[in-house]
Amino acid sequence: MKNSISHIKNSLRNKKISVEELYDEFLIKAKSSKNNTFNLLLDKENNILSIKESQKRYENGNPLPLDGIPLGIKDLFCTKGIRTTASSKILSNFTPNYESFVTQKLLDDGSIFIGKNNCDEFAMGSSNETSFFGPVKNPWKNKNYPTDDLVPGGSSGGSAAAVAEGTCVASLGTDTGGSIRQPASLCGIVGLKPTFGSCSRWGIVAFASSLDQAGPLTNSVEDAALILNSINKHDFNDTTSSNHFREDYSNDINNKLDQKIKIGIPSDYLKDVSGDILSQIENTKKALIKHNVEFVDVEFKTTEYALSTYYILAPAEASSNLARYDGIRYGVREDGKSLDDIYLNSRTKGFGDEVTRRILIGAYVLSAGYYDAYYRQAQKVRRLIKDDFQRIFNDVDFILTPTTPNEAFKIGDKLDPISMYKNDIYTVPTSLAGLPGISIPSGLSTNGLPLGIQFIGNYFEEKKLLQIAALAEKELNFNEQ
């Protein structure tokens, strides 16, 4: 594939293009993009040192794994000396003096950041419409309504759209309830949410700490594996970071499956879905069945509770995580006569509607008299959901689901929060269980819009997960459609 990391690295190695030319090419394209995919683009001067060092390594014949590759970074990762806003007004002037753990790993592996991708404010949203910097437009158009601007999904909407429009080779996003997989699906690219605890959360603006996880949005499964190789490391400074053994995820990614693979398809996920969505699953079955893959029906007992659980727990954690934004030590301070006024004004004016809504939900479900009925009950149900997945994984290697219940929709179409929240119906359960999930593009809807399928693996089985995804990718052949 032309824009794959390995292809670009080959061109750099063979001197078909220099690191600087590559950067220019992407930057020019990004600057002319009309999709509002970046909150900030870094001019060449900002990166000139890294570009030169990278070039030198190519010339010396010892390039690093991601050397010279222009990446987009969701504007939720703190980047040292580079403005980091979480797409919120309250952080719109914030420049951290530290680098997040995972972006540091990407820098260590030679990649070059082209800019900070637009996203939903504090990663709260499923359409990238809640950003202080305005909505991101999906580069894809509905062939029946070609003038409509469509959402890219969210919250890593800028990341997904940027990869899809070709303004960065890959982007680093975060996924709390589907924020990597859902926009990847709506933009026709690959998105991987690793197992909770794989990639350090240190330096990522927190949304819901028990769910947040960084991961790649890429053109191919192999690219996702290459990025994962870089960011999947144990971090002592994140107490929830796992210190299990990490494999090389890109090595052997195209190997033939040597054992019989059993994939469960949750029948309860497929009730009431459109023919477009159903055919994604059918096509995938057809494509894989010849590769010694067996498909079985499985059924969850907890699916109908997953969204409720998520929309209690995530806002509860968010309401507390966002308490630090007060205009006292950093961020935008609004005027006020008293200290209390400063607090109230900075927070009230600094947060948009959706963030405000979730802070309120969170404060409510944790408040005296409601804690047991909502927060504690949701934590208990979360255990039931986790157990439900483990029951199914006792019998199957992977679970296959649609990534989203629908294709990309028109900006401004979904005003009701609950119907927006339902976009995450297939991705949220995985997040609650902490399991890894990958979305790959599987085909086009009747409107000519991309749709994705999601493979879910067991804990820390990213290697296997990437292999089955790579196989499906090859068979479905989306990029040549």
Partner 1 sequence: MSNNWEMVIGLEVHAQLNTSSKLFSSSPNQFGSEPNENVNFIDSGMPGMLPVMNFACIEMAIKTGYALNFNINKYSVFERKNYFYPDLPQGYQISQFEFPILTEGFINIDNDGNQKKIRIERAHLEQDAGKSIHDIDPKFSFIDLNRVGTPLLEIVSYPDLSSAEEVVSYMSSLRQVLMYIDVCDGNMQEGSLRADVNLSVRKKGGELGTRCEIKNLNSFKFIRQAIEYEFKRQIDVIESGGKIEQNTMLFDTSTGETRAMRSKEFSHDYRYFPDPDLLPVNLTQDQIDKVKTSVGELPQAKLDKFIKDYKVDKDIAKIITVEKQNAILFEKMISETDVKPKFIAAWLVGDIFAFIKENNLEVSSLNEKTKEITDLLKLVSDDVISNKAGKEILPKVLNGQGKPSDIVKELGLEQVSDSGELEKIIDEALIGEEENISKFQSGSDRVLGYFVGKCLKATKGKGNPKLINKILLDRLKK
Partner 2 sequence: MSEIDIKRISYLAKLKLPLEKEEFYANSLKDIIKWVDNLKKIDTSKTEPLHNVTEKTVSIRNDEINKSNSVNDVLSNAPDRAQNFFKVPKVVE
Indicate which of partner 1, partner 2, none lies near residue 204 (CB less than 5 to 8 Å, by partner kind).
Answer: partner 1
Indicate which of partner 1, partner 2, none lies near residue 317 (CB less than 5 to 8 Å, by partner kind).
Answer: partner 1
The least distance separating partner 2 from the CB of residue 418, rounded to whole angstroms, comes to 6
* Residues 192-211: x where in contact with partner 2 by CB under 8 A, - otherwise, as a string: ----xx------------x-
Q: Is 157 in contact with 136 (CB distance < 8 Å)?
A: yes
Of residues 93, 144, 251, 292, which one binds partner 2 by CB under 8 A?
93
Backbone phi and psi for residue 273, each to the nearest 5 degrees, phi listed first: -90, 160
Which pairing describes strands 190-193 and 213-218: parallel, antiparallel, or unpaired? antiparallel
Residues 323-382 interacting with partner 2 (rule: CB under 8 A): 323, 326-333, 336-339, 342-345, 347-348, 351, 356-357, 359-364, 367, 373-374, 376-382
Interaction between residue 92 and partner 2 (CB under 8 A): no
Of residues 260, 324, 383, 391, which one binds partner 1 by CB under 8 A?
324
The least distance separating partner 1 from the CB of residue 404, rounded to whole angstroms, comes to 26
Stretch that binds partner 2, among 65-73, 182-190, 321-329, 399-407 (CB under 8 A): 321-329
Q: Where are the alpha helices (DSSP H) in 149-269?
A: 157-165, 181-187, 221-231
Total site size for partner 1, rule CB under 8 A: 43
- Residue 300 has, within 13 A of its CA and on its CB side, a CA count of 28
Interaction between residue 295 and partner 1 (CB under 8 A): no
Interaction between residue 329 and partner 1 (CB under 8 A): yes
User: Rounded to whole angstroms, how far apart are CA atoms 83 and 360?
Assistant: 28
- Cα 356 to its chain centre, rounded Å, is 22
Stretch that binds partner 1, among 198-206, 248-256, 285-293, 390-398 (CB under 8 A): 198-206
* Residues 348-387: x where in contact with partner 1 by CB under 8 A, - otherwise, as a string: ---------------x--xxx--x---x------------
State which residue, 387 or 413, has the beta carbon closest to partner 2. 387
Annotated active-site residue 54? The verdict is no
Annotated active-site residue 155? The verdict is yes
Q: How many residues would you count in the chain?
A: 481
Question: Torsion angle of alpha carbons 197, 200, 470, 11, nearest 10°?
Answer: -170
The least distance separating partner 1 from the CB of residue 372, rounded to whole angstroms, comes to 11
Stretch that binds partner 1, among 64-72, 261-269, 319-327, 445-453 (CB under 8 A): 319-327
Residues 269-308 interacting with partner 2 (rule: CB under 8 A): 304-305, 308
Residues 376-415 interacting with partner 2 (rule: CB under 8 A): 376-384, 386
Which helix (H) or strand (E) element contains residue 213? strand 213-218
In the chain, count of helices (H) and strands (E)?
Answer: 15, 11
Peptide bond into 346 cis (omega under 30): no
Indicate which of partner 2, partner 1, none lies near residue 359 (CB less than 5 to 8 Å, by partner kind).
Answer: partner 2
- Residue holding tokens 């459609």? 481
Residues 431-460 interacting with partner 2 (rule: CB under 8 A): 433-434
Question: Torsion angle of alpha carbons 8, 475, 156, 235, nearest 10°?
Answer: -70
Q: Is 193 in contact with 430 (CB distance < 8 Å)?
A: yes
User: Rounded to whole angstroms, how far apart are CA atoms 108 and 200?
Assistant: 15
The least distance separating partner 1 from the CB of residue 115, rounded to whole angstroms, comes to 19
User: Rounded to whole angstroms, how far apart are CA atoms 222 and 123?
Assistant: 26
C-alpha distances (whole Å) from 193 to each of 82, 177, 178, 265, 437 are 25, 10, 8, 19, 5
Backbone phi and psi for residue 305, each to the nearest 5 degrees, phi listed first: -100, -10
Annotated active-site residue 179? The verdict is yes
Residues 58-87 interacting with partner 1 (rule: CB under 8 A): 77-78, 84, 86
User: Rounded to whole angstroms, how far apart are CA atoms 58 and 50?
Assistant: 12
| Cβ neighbour number for residue 391 with a 10 Å cutoff | 12
DSSP 223-256: HHHHHHHHH----TT-TT--------SSTTTTPP
State which residue, 296 or 360, has the beta carbon closest to partner 2. 360
Chain positions contacting partner 2, by CB under 8 A:
93-98, 196-197, 210, 236, 239-240, 242, 304-305, 308-309, 311-312, 319, 323, 326-333, 336-339, 342-345, 347-348, 351, 356-357, 359-364, 367, 373-374, 376-384, 386, 417-418, 433-434
Q: Which residues are catalytic?
A: 74, 155, 179
Q: Which residues form the interface with partner 1 (CB under 8 A)?
A: 77-78, 84, 86, 91, 94, 96-98, 100, 201-206, 208-210, 236-240, 316-317, 319-320, 322-324, 326, 328-330, 339, 343, 363, 366-368, 371, 375
